[in-house]
Chain A
C-alpha cells in the first residue's frame, strides 16, 4: 500500500538529567527502566501513523539526549519506518552531549541540532542550575561540525531578574562567535508547573522585556541573523523547517508524553501522565477544527512570521478572499500601517511583531 506523505512528526522524550526551574514542559528525571518502557509504548503509539511517512521529524523534550547510547539507537530504529525518502531529523540536546552520542546522531542522519544553552552569564546560570562555559560549547560545536552536523541552533533566554540590555548583548557576542545557523530566543515566562512559579521568581515587566528584545533584533541583524518569526533568528536559508510547519498551519503528527498533533483537521494532545502513558492510555485533549477555527489558527500563526501569510494560500485553503472577508477589521490597520501587504503576503509591521496579540485580538474577534 502506498503511504501518505505528511510534513512533520514531533517526538517527545520527557526525560532529563536535571530539571530547569523555568521549564513547564512535560518532563521527569531520567530512569533507565522507565525510559526502556517508555520507548516500548512510544513504538506502540506510533503505529497510529502506520499509513504515513513524515518529511521532518523533530525529537524534543525533556532532554532527548539524556537517553542512553543504546536507547538513542533504539529510538532511531523505531522512527526509521516513518521517515520519508528525503527525511530531515532535528534533535534537542543539552550542552553536555558526548561524542559517542554524536556518532549515533551522525549514523542515523540527524541534520539539525538545537542546544539548550540559554545563557553564559554566571549569575543567571546559577539561577537555572546550568554551568556551561563558552569553551565547552565551542568544543561541542566543533565536534558536531566534524561529524557533519552543521545546522546548529542555540537557545537563548532573556528577561532574567535584573538582567540588563548589556547582559543580553554580552551573551549574543559569544553566541555569534560560534559557527551556528540559528538562534531561538525566549523571554523568560514564569509559568505554572515550573519551579520558578513556585518560588515566585519575578517575571520581567514589558518595558524591560521590550528593551532587551529590540536590542536582540538590532544586534543579530548586524550579525546576519535575520528575524523570520517573533522569537526566531536564522542565517538565510537556515530557518527551522520543522517549526515553519506549525506557523504555516500545516499538518504534523505527535507522539510521546504531552505531544500535540494536527492531522486531518483534528488537534490532539497526548496525556501528560507518565503512568497513564505507560498503560497505553495516550489521548487526553482533542479539538476538531472546522473552517472557522482553521482560519483562526491560520491567521494567528501566519502573523507571527515576519513575512506574514500568503493571501493566495488563504484563498486556496478557504475559497474566500481574506481582505474581503476581514475588510472591517483589516482596512483601518492597513490604513494606519500596522498591517502591510508586500509581494502577495500580508504581515504586521516590523515594529508591531512584539505586540502581535494586540492586533490579533482586533482582527480575530
Chain B
C-alpha cells in the first residue's frame, strides 16, 4: 500500500546561481520538515562531497525525500532533487529537472538575475516545470526586492506578483515557500497499475550493494524481488533493496508512481546502469523507454596520466566509477611517448576538469598528470578528408593539411555598464567578434561576442571576473566551426619533442607564446644534473629557447648530531615533492609543467 497518494507528492528542484543561497535554503527546508535533528544538521547538508563543501558549490546532484505536514492538515511527500549551479554542470541540471514537476527559482536580492540562472531556467521551462520565484537574502541592507522581481519579469517573463522574499540564512518566510510548493507545483502524473517506467537520474557505487540507481517512478510500481530490465541494453536483475533517502536511507517494500528513491539489485557491472536509461520490470514490462535527457558533449579534452605508471589500472577503474554518476565524462585510452599509458578525457569545461582531477586524487588516491586542455579542431586534409583532432600531438603533417577549423562560441556576458570597456578589450584580445549589446536596464548590459572556444578555455573566466571586479557573469553556447590560421607548436626538451607539451596556437600569437612558455617551463622545471635546453618550434623551426641550468648545490652544508633526523626527514619531504615528477627521457618534469601553456597570460601581464 502506498503511504502518500499521488496527489500528495511534490517533486521539485532548486535553481540558483552560485552563492545565491540554494544550499542554505535546502538546509532550512530540511530543518522545517524535521528530516534531520539539530545534532545532525551541518551546513549545506546536501553538498555531501568534501570538495563541494570546500568550494561552496554543488557538483553532484543529490535527492532527499521529506514529509511535510501542511497547513491544510495533511501530510505531503516532498522529493527535493538538488541541482548544481555552474555552467559546466548543466548536464546534471537537465537530469534533475527531468525528474521534477516544479522548481524553486532562487535569486539573490542583492545581485539580481545572473546569466547562469537564465540558462537553467530555460532548461526548466523546456521541461514544462512550474517555477516559483523566490527572492533570497532580503535581510541584507543592500537587498532590493522590487528590482530583483522586475529583472525576473524582464529577462524571463515570469510574473513575480507572488514572488516570495525570504532569508534562507535566518529562515524568514521559508515556511511560506513550503506552502507554495503544495499549492503551485503539480502532483506527478502516473498510474501504479501501468507497466513500470523508472527514470534513472543518478547512480553511485556502494561496495556492499553494488551499483545503486537513483530513480523517479514515472509509471507503475516497483517491488523488492521484482525482475528489472535496463531498457537501453537489456540487462536484467532481481531487486534486492528499495528505499527512499530522507536523507538517511530508509528501505521500503515498494516504490510507486510519482515517488523518488533508490534501487539496489546486486549490480556489479558499472556500465549496465546508465543515467537517463529507463528501468522496467519483466513482471509488467513497458514497451517504450522514457525520453532520456539532453545529452551534453564534451567541450574540452585533455590527457590524464598517472604519475606512477603502475597505477594505470587503478585510474581506469576510477574513471569507470566516476563516469557512473557523471555521464558527461568521456574517456578513452591513449599513449604518450612522454607520459606513457593514460586516457584522453572529455569535459564540459575547465571546472568540470578540475573537479574530476580532484576527485580522482582525493577519492581514489591517484596522483595525476594532466596535459593542457584542448578543444576539438576540424582538420581538413588536401585529399578532402576531415579529422576531428582532440589531441594537438596527433596533428597530421602540415604539408597534407588544407585548412584547420576551430570551434566558435557565442558568448553572452552580463555586466554593469561601467565595465563594458575592459570587457570588450578582453574579448578583442581573445580574437572575439562583436555581435551585439543589449541594455537590460539602466545599469546592466548583455554583451554578445563570438569567440574561439580555445580562447576561453584559457583563464578567460578569471580575467573577466578581475576586469569587472567580480560583477560580470558569463554563459556560452557552441556556434559552429570557423577556419583560422592555426599552427601546431612543439616543445622540445633536450632536443626531443615532447608530445604532451604540444599545443595548437593562432599563428600571430605563436612567437610571443613560444617565448613565454619556454621561459615559464624554465622556471617550473627544477635544475637537472646537466644543462637542458627547452625550445619551442613550429614545423621544425625553432622560435624560442631557454636553458634549464645544472644543479650546482644540493646538500646541507652542516650535518652534525642534531641535524641527522632532521636531514632524513628533509630528504623524505623532497622525495614526496618528486612524486609528482615524471621522468621524460632523463629530465624530471613536474606536473605543473604540462599545464604551463594554460597560464601564460599571467606571465604576459608581469
Question: Interface of A with B (CB < 8 Å)?
Answer: 8, 10, 25, 184-187, 189, 206-207, 209-210, 213, 230-231, 243, 246-247, 252, 254, 258-262, 267, 269, 285, 287, 293, 296-297, 300-301, 304, 353-358, 360-361, 364-365
Contact between B560 and A246, CB atoms less than 8 A apart: yes
Query: How distant is B492 from chain A, measured CB to nearest CB, in Å?
Result: 23
| Shortest Cβ distance from A303 into B: residue | B555
19 A-B pairs (CB sep. < 8 Å): A25-B562, A206-B551, A209-B552, A230-B555, A254-B561, A259-B561, A261-B561, A267-B565, A287-B565, A300-B571, A355-B554, A357-B554, A357-B555, A357-B571, A358-B551, A360-B571, A361-B571, A364-B571, A365-B575
> Is B529's beta carbon under 8 Å from chain A?
yes
Query: How distant is A75 from chain B, measured CB to nearest CB, in Å?
Result: 18
The 8 closest A-B pairs by CB, nearest first: A210-B552, A206-B553, A187-B557, A355-B554, A358-B554, A260-B562, A206-B552, A356-B555
Among A187, A260, A285, A357, point to the contact of B561 (Cβ < 8 A).
A260
Query: How distant is A21 from chain B, measured CB to nearest CB, in Å?
Result: 17
> Is B183's beta carbon under 8 Å from chain A?
no
What's the Cα separation between A168 and B578 when bound, in Å? 34
If A301-B559, A361-B574 touch, whether A269 touches B565 (CB-CB below 8 Å) is yes
Query: How distant is A135 from chain B, measured CB to nearest CB, in Å?
Result: 28
Contact between A260 and B553, CB atoms less than 8 A apart: no
For A184, list chain B residues within 8 Å (CB).
558
| Shortest Cβ distance from A267 into B: residue | B565
> Is B507's beta carbon under 8 Å from chain A?
no
What's the Cα separation between A206 and B25 when bound, in Å? 56
Contact between B552 and A260, CB atoms less than 8 A apart: no
Among B556, B558, B560, point to the contact of A357 (Cβ < 8 A).
B556
For A261, list chain B residues within 8 Å (CB).
561
> Is B321's beta carbon under 8 Å from chain A?
no
For A247, list chain B residues within 8 Å (CB).
559
Contact between A252 and B561, CB atoms less than 8 A apart: yes
Query: How distant is A79 from chain B, measured CB to nearest CB, in Å?
Result: 17
What's the Cα separation between A206 and B553 when bound, in Å? 5
If A300-B571, A357-B574, A361-B578 touch, whether A210 touches B553 (CB-CB below 8 Å) is yes
For B575, list chain A residues within 8 Å (CB).
361, 364-365
Contact between B571 and A185, CB atoms less than 8 A apart: no
Contact between B552 and A269, CB atoms less than 8 A apart: no
Contact between A231 and B571, CB atoms less than 8 A apart: no
For B71, list chain A residues within 8 Å (CB).
none
Among B555, B567, B571, point to the contact of A355 (Cβ < 8 A).
B555
Contact between B562 and A355, CB atoms less than 8 A apart: no
Contact between A355 and B552, CB atoms less than 8 A apart: yes
For A287, list chain B residues within 8 Å (CB).
565
For A354, list chain B residues within 8 Å (CB).
552-555
Contact between A230 and B557, CB atoms less than 8 A apart: yes
For the complex with contacts A206-B554, A247-B559, 10 further pairs of A-B residues with Cβ separation under 8 Å are A185-B557, A206-B551, A210-B553, A230-B557, A246-B561, A260-B561, A267-B565, A297-B568, A300-B567, A300-B568
> Is B119's beta carbon under 8 Å from chain A?
no
> Is B549's beta carbon under 8 Å from chain A?
yes
Contact between A355 and B564, CB atoms less than 8 A apart: no
For A353, list chain B residues within 8 Å (CB).
555
| Shortest Cβ distance from A157 into B: residue | B557
What's the Cα separation between A251 and B562 when bound, in Å? 13
What's the Cα separation between A25 and B563 when bound, in Å? 10
Query: How distant is A201 from chain B, measured CB to nearest CB, in Å?
Result: 16
Q: What is the 8 Å Cβ interface bit string for chain B, positions 519-556, against chain A (1 contact, 0 not)?
A: 00000000101000000000000000000010111111
Contacts between chains A and B (CB distance < 8 A), count: 94
Query: How distant is A339 from chain B, measured CB to nearest CB, in Å?
Result: 13
| Range of interface residues on B (Cβ < 8 Å) | 20 to 34
If A357-B574, A361-B575 touch, whether A213 touches B564 (CB-CB below 8 Å) is no
What's the Cα separation between A301 and B556 when bound, in Å? 11
Query: How distant is B480 from chain A, measured CB to nearest CB, in Å?
Result: 52
For A262, list chain B residues within 8 Å (CB).
561, 564
Contact between A355 and B551, CB atoms less than 8 A apart: yes
Contact between A231 and B558, CB atoms less than 8 A apart: yes
Contact between B562 and A258, CB atoms less than 8 A apart: yes
| Shortest Cβ distance from A293 into B: residue | B568
What's the Cα separation between A253 and B380 when bound, in Å? 76
Among B527, B557, B565, B578, point to the contact of A189 (Cβ < 8 A).
B557
Query: How distant is B334 from chain A, measured CB to nearest CB, in Å?
Result: 29
Contact between A231 and B557, CB atoms less than 8 A apart: yes
If A189-B557, A301-B559 touch, whether A285 touches B552 (CB-CB below 8 Å) is no
What's the Cα separation between A365 and B529 when bound, in Å? 17
What's the Cα separation between A212 and B531 when bound, in Å? 20
For A357, list chain B residues within 8 Å (CB).
554-556, 571, 574
| Shortest Cβ distance from A362 into B: residue | B529
| Shortest Cβ distance from A206 into B: residue | B553
For B571, list chain A residues within 8 Å (CB).
300, 357, 360-361, 364
What's the Cα separation between A267 and B564 when bound, in Å? 9
For A360, list chain B residues within 8 Å (CB).
571
For B578, list chain A residues within 8 Å (CB).
361, 365
| Shortest Cβ distance from B574 into A: residue | A361
Query: How distant is A115 from chain B, measured CB to nearest CB, in Å?
Result: 16
| Shortest Cβ distance from B576 into A: residue | A365
| Shortest Cβ distance from B550 into A: residue | A355
What's the Cα separation between A235 and B551 when bound, in Å? 30
Contact between B549 and A207, CB atoms less than 8 A apart: yes
If A207-B549, A365-B575 touch, whether A260 touches B555 (CB-CB below 8 Å) is no
If A300-B568, A361-B571 touch, whether A213 touches B561 (CB-CB below 8 Å) is no
| Shortest Cβ distance from B575 into A: residue | A365
Segment 465-515 of B: residues with Cβ below 8 Å from A: none
Query: How distant is B180 from chain A, measured CB to nearest CB, in Å?
Result: 59
What's the Cα separation between A101 and B571 when bound, in Å? 41
Contact between B557 and A358, CB atoms less than 8 A apart: no
What's the Cα separation between A8 and B562 when bound, in Å? 13
Contact between B554 and A230, CB atoms less than 8 A apart: no
For A213, list chain B residues within 8 Å (CB).
553
If A361-B574, A361-B575 touch, whether A304 touches B554 (CB-CB below 8 Å) is no
Contact between A186 and B557, CB atoms less than 8 A apart: yes
For A285, list chain B residues within 8 Å (CB).
565
| Shortest Cβ distance from A245 into B: residue | B561
What's the Cα separation between A258 and B564 when bound, in Å? 13
What's the Cα separation between A189 and B555 when bound, in Å? 11
Contact between B564 and A230, CB atoms less than 8 A apart: no
Query: How distant is A251 from chain B, measured CB to nearest CB, in Å?
Result: 11
Among A8, A186, A259, A355, point to the contact of B553 (Cβ < 8 A).
A355
What's the Cα separation between A137 and B276 when bound, in Å? 86
For A210, list chain B residues within 8 Å (CB).
552-553
For B561, list chain A residues within 8 Å (CB).
8, 10, 246, 252, 254, 259-262
Q: What is the 8 Å Cβ interface bit string for chain B, positions 417-436, against chain A (1 contact, 0 not)?
A: 00000000000000000000
Segment 129-168 of B: residues with Cβ below 8 Å from A: none
What's the Cα separation between A267 and B556 when bound, in Å? 20
For B564, list chain A residues within 8 Å (CB).
246, 260, 262, 267, 297, 301
What's the Cα separation between A10 and B564 when bound, in Å? 14
Contact between A187 and B559, CB atoms less than 8 A apart: no
For B557, list chain A residues within 8 Å (CB).
185-187, 189, 230-231
Query: How distant is A260 from chain B, measured CB to nearest CB, in Å?
Result: 4
Among A186, A254, A297, A358, point to the contact of B529 (Cβ < 8 A).
A358
What's the Cα separation between A365 and B578 when bound, in Å? 10
Among B549, B556, B565, B574, point to the contact of A260 (Cβ < 8 A).
B565
What's the Cα separation between A247 and B559 when bound, in Å? 8
- Identify which of A254, A296, A355 gathers the most chain B CB atoms within 10 Å of its CB: A355
Contact between B552 and A296, CB atoms less than 8 A apart: no
Segment 562-587 of B: residues with Cβ below 8 Å from A: 562, 564-565, 567-568, 571, 574-575, 578
What's the Cα separation between A259 and B560 when bound, in Å? 11
What's the Cα separation between A269 and B575 when bound, in Å? 24
| Shortest Cβ distance from A259 into B: residue | B562
What's the Cα separation between A230 and B557 when bound, in Å? 7
For B551, list chain A residues within 8 Å (CB).
206, 355, 358
